[in-house]
Structures are given as structure tokens and as C-alpha cells.
Amino acid sequence: MTSHSSSGHSGLTRISKITIKLLVMLIFAFAAYGVAGMGVILAMYALSFVALGRDSEASHGISNRESSRLGGLAIGIIFAVFILVMFLLSPYTPGVVRDPLHIYLWSAVAACCLLGLSEDIAPDLLSPMLRLILKMGVFGLLLWVAPAMVPKQIGILGIDTLLGMPLLGWLLATLFCVGFINAVNMADGANGLIPGIVLATMIMFFLVYGRPAEGVLVFACAMFLIFNVISGWYFLGDMGSYGLGAIVACYGLLGVAQGDFSAGLMASFVAYPCIDFIYSILRRLKAGRSPLAADDGHLHNRLHRFYAPYFRSKVLPNSLTGLSISGATAGLSLLVFLNGWLPVESTLWFVVFGFEVLMYVLVIRLLTTHQYCNP
């Protein structure tokens, strides 16, 4: 009798925690976007029960609970539905209808999303080498048919010379895009980390361009961030990290090429995945391991091990880790951007990026000496 009573009490406790989390998410969503926000949270909640694309505890990043890999699919559905509604019920005409360049750009994004979705639904369906070849093919083709997306200069001596040579410029831009989405995928290990970075970047894009598509992306990313940070029931998965990484990379390249903002500004917004990716490769090479082998030596892994002993909750230290890093990097850049402390075209944004590099090195050195933080 006691066993059944204990089991029943545990079940009720779990249900009450789920209910509380859902209510908190609905409150935040309503405060941000009203009824539309609440509707999206409920739709994401329903999608989180889908059996496809589920990971067991500790099989991804620093998660300590079973989660869904379909966060990217949820964002994709939100984006597609709202764009379709605007197209049908308003004078809005999507960029892909107006401009062939956007057809190429969004085709590449869609290809990356489908590649990621195949991994979310059937992990290891494609070998790492085949995925790499496919990504190289997607971005190589995109930048070949849309050379206007390749910047002629970014304000760094030497690299500008290489970018001035069409073939080398195309190759460097292709390698950057592939490396960037791999870096985003590698950093997708804490609640609110990549979603927070992408949301800050999308806000910047929306304020620079003022187009409905970027506004919908801000909305979708904001709703996912709320859901991801509070519940921990979703993470982006490969579709989310590949798709959002592709959007940021393509928008970033095009914006720099057109002179809409500087390369330094983009670097400061996406500093963390780039810095951590390079540091991880160097760390593994130094240890005599494959540079692309998975491990738990990332800054977000170390920071999570620092936070975890102070909280009973499994979700809170995970979310605190992601928000700390995204807030201190992309959040800092967004603060500078919103206050107009630097012009968007200024090369001084590289100073902000340099400060973020310095913070990364300092924090990872401090955490390496902490007893809980060594991999």
C-alpha cells in the first residue's frame, strides 16, 4: 500500500511540475506576443510528445532528461505557417517571389534543414563524411550561382586580398559557411545557448532590414527560447542548428557583402560558437585526438559542472549555463547595437569580438582549475 501511495504521489508531483512549467511558459508568451504566443507554446507542447526524434538522458549536450530533437522542426513550422498566413491575408510578398537571390538563399537553408531533420529522425543515417560533403555541395552551389553573397573585403588585411580573388573568395566563403553551421551544431548543448545567440542576431537583422520574414524569425526564436529555457523538453536538434546556422551565415555574408553592417558586428554576435569550435579543435589536436571527436570539454560543459552542485533542479543549471554564455556574448553585442554605441558599419566591432575572446579564455581558465569543471 505504501509503495502504491508513494508511486501515486510521485506521479502527481511530476504532473504538477509539468503544469506549473506550462503555465509559466504561457504567461511569458502572452506577455511577449499575446494570444499568438500562447497558441505557439501550446502547439510546441503538443509536438514535444511526438515519439520521433527523442533522445534519452545524457545523450545530447548537458541534458539530464529525455528531450525531443524536434525543436528545429517546431521553429520551421511556426515560420512557414505565419509566412503563409501573411501571404494569403495581406499584401506581403515573400522575398523568394521578388528576388532570385533569395530563392537561392532559402533553397540552401531548406536543404540544410532537410539534412538536419534526417539526422534528428534517424540518427547516423548518413555518415559524418557524407554530411560534410553534402554541406559543402549546398553552400558551394549557392555561392557559385549567387556570387554577390561573397564579400569582397571584411576589414582584415590578408583575408581581404584572398577575398578579392573570385575563386579563392568563393572557396573561403564556402568553408566559412560549412564550418559555421558545424560550430553551431557543436555548441547546441545548453538550454538557451544557441537559441539565445540566434534570437539576439535575428533581432539585429530585423532592426537593420525591417522585413516581415525577419520579424517572424524573431517571434519563432523567442517562443522557442521561452519553451527551451523553462521546460528543457526541447533542444534545437540538427535541423534547428543547421537551419538557423545557415540563415545566420547566409544573412551575415550577404549583409557584409552589401555593406549593411561590418564583419566585426557579425563576428561579435556569433562569437561563442566560433571561438569554442576553434578552441575545441586545438584542444583535441593537442591531446592527440580527432579534431571532430565529441567530448565534454566545451566551455558550456565546464560551466554546467560548476553550476550543477548548487541546484537540485536538473533544468535550472542547464538553462543558467546557456543564458550566461549567450547573454555575455550575443547579448552584449545586442546591447551595444541597441544603444547605438557603435555604427553598424564600424570595424571597431572587432574590439567587441576581441573582448568576447578574452572573456572566453579567462572563464575557461578559471573553470579548468575548479574541482567540478575538469573534463
All structural domains of the chain with their residue ranges: 24-368
Determine the Cα–Cα distance for residues 175 and 137; give it in Å rounded to an integer. Answer: 11
Using CA atoms, how far residue 370 sits from 30, 274, 317, in Å, is: 40, 24, 16
367 in Cβ contact with 373 (< 8 Å): yes
What band does 65 get if pLDDT is binned at 50, 70 and 90? low
Are the CB atoms for 149 and 142 separated by under 8 Å?
A: yes
Query: What residue ranges in 1-132 does DSSP mark as E strands?
Result: 54-55, 67-68
23 vs 41: CA distance, rounded Å: 10
Each residue's pLDDT tens digit, 126-157: 898 999 999 999 999 999 999 999 999 998 88
Residues 157-191 pLDDT 10s = 899 999 999 999 999 999 999 999 999 999 988 99
pTM here? 0.92
How high is the pLDDT of residue 67? Answer: 75
Residues 6 or more apart whose CB falls under 8 angstroms from that of 139 comprise 108, 173, 174, 177, 178
Given 3-state DSSP classes, what are the helix, strand and coil percentages for the chain, each rounded to the nearest 5?
A: 75, 0, 25
Q: Which three cell numbers stand for residue 10?
A: 510521485
Residues 6+ apart with CB under 8 A from 113: 72, 76, 239, 242, 243, 246
